[in-house]
């Protein structure tokens, strides 16, 4: 089984978000970039398929040379080979087209992407890829077993989960649940050393449309101070929620 894990290079979850250039760009100053958390759960599941079922695992990222440390980290965790598509990502449609090209040329059986990236939150890349490639697709995937070409997936739905039966070739939009938080791996020294010797192939982008453009960013409006209610006067909270906030 040949697996491609699509990785987005995103600001660490603790990052404070600021904008620059007249609020038209994300300010990367002082920001630590990491493997998108939804993708990291998928990468870890891919490692399981590698170790238990002999799968080959490639990782791919769309971006300029600044994303290479993130690809190297994925290689240090255990992926066999890295691919960088040499272009700044534009929008979800554009990224999906680039990734679809790599999937098509690489003959992958399973493509693992994240449900969404935690920066631009488009959540459309795996779905668009699936449509372009006519592959089976399971989103918000929280469990995946492969037996030959048959796949059993679990999907998180609003208020519960759904068991899905499908087959390879398959694309999933993964998230926490594919593996547990405690299963995530921190690269060890041996992994980091080995990652340096692994192939990181650079491929050039294909022409593709980008139908959406972020024109401007805004930070959330500043919030007024909290109204404190004394612990001995809980009734006051009920009054405030009813009469002032009008939410009960």
Find the binding residues for another protein in span 168-187 (CB under 8 A): 175-177, 180-182
16's CB contacts (< 8 A; 6+ apart) are none
Cα atoms in the 13 Å half-sphere on the side-chain side of 83: 20
Query: Cα–Cα distance between 90 and 227 in angstroms, integer?
Result: 42
Of 139, 174, 179, 195, the one binding another protein by CB under 8 A: 139
- Which tokens belong to 165? 């039966």
- The CB-of-78 to another protein minimum distance in angstroms stands at 22
Identify the residue among 14, 52, 147, 190 touching another protein (CB under 8 A): 14
- Binding pattern for the stretch 67-106 against another protein, x by CB under 8 A and - elsewhere: ------------------------xxx--x----------
Q: Please answer whether residues 5 and 42 qualify as being in contact, where contact means their C-beta atoms are separated by less than 8 angstroms.
A: yes
Bridge partners, 114 (sequence order)? 174
DSSP one-letter code for 231: T
Closest distance of CB 45 from another protein, Å: 14
**Do you find a cis peptide bond into 9, omega within 30 degrees of 0?**
no
56 touches another protein (CB under 8 A)? no
Binds another protein (CB under 8 A): choice among 53, 162, 193, 196: 162
DSSP label at residue 182 = G
Nearer to another protein, 147 or 230 (CB): 230
Choices 55-63, 72-80, 188-196, 218-226 (CB under 8 A): range interacting with another protein: 218-226
Cβ at position 202, least distance to another protein in Å: 26
- How far from the centroid of its chain's Cα atoms is residue 246's Cα? 38
User: By C-beta, is 81 or 156 nearer to another protein?
Assistant: 156
147 binds another protein (CB under 8 A): no
Is the CB of 56 or the CB of 166 nearer to another protein? 166
Give Cβ neighbours of residue 192 (< 8 Å, ≥ 6 apart).
Answer: 72, 76
**Three-state DSSP class for 61?**
strand
> Binding residue for another protein (CB under 8 A) from 32, 53, 161, 196?
161
């Amino acid at each position: 089984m040949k697996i491609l894990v699509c990785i987005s290079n995103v600001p660490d979850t603790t990052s404070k978000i600021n904008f620059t250039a007249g609020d038209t760009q994300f300010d990367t100053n002082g920001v630590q970039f990491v493997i998108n958390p939804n993708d990291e759960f998928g990468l870890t599941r891919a490692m399981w398929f590698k170790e238990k079922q002999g799968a080959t695992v490639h990782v791919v990222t769309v971006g300029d040379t600044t994303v290479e440390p993130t690809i190297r980290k994925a290689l240090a965790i255990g992926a066999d080979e890295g691919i960088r598509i040499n272009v700044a990502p534009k929008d979800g449609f554009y990224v999906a087209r680039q990734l679809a090209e790599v999937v098509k040329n690489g003959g992958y059986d399973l493509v693992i992407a994240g449900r969404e990236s935690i920066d631009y939150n488009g959540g459309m890349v795996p779905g668009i890829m699936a449509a372009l490639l006519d592959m089976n697709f399971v989103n918000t995937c929280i469990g995946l077993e492969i037996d030959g070409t048959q796949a059993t997936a679990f999907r998180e739905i609003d208020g519960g989960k759904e068991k899905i039966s499908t087959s390879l070739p398959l694309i999933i939009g993964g998230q926490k649940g594919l593996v547990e938080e405690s299963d995530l791996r921190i690269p060890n020294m041996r992994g980091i050393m080995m990652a340096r010797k692994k192939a990181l192939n650079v491929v050039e982008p294909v022409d593709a449309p980008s139908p959406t453009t972020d024109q401007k960013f805004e930070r959330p409006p500043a919030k007024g101070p909290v109204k404190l209610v004394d612990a001995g006067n809980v009734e006051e909270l009920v009054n405030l929620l009813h009469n002032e906030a009008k939410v009960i």
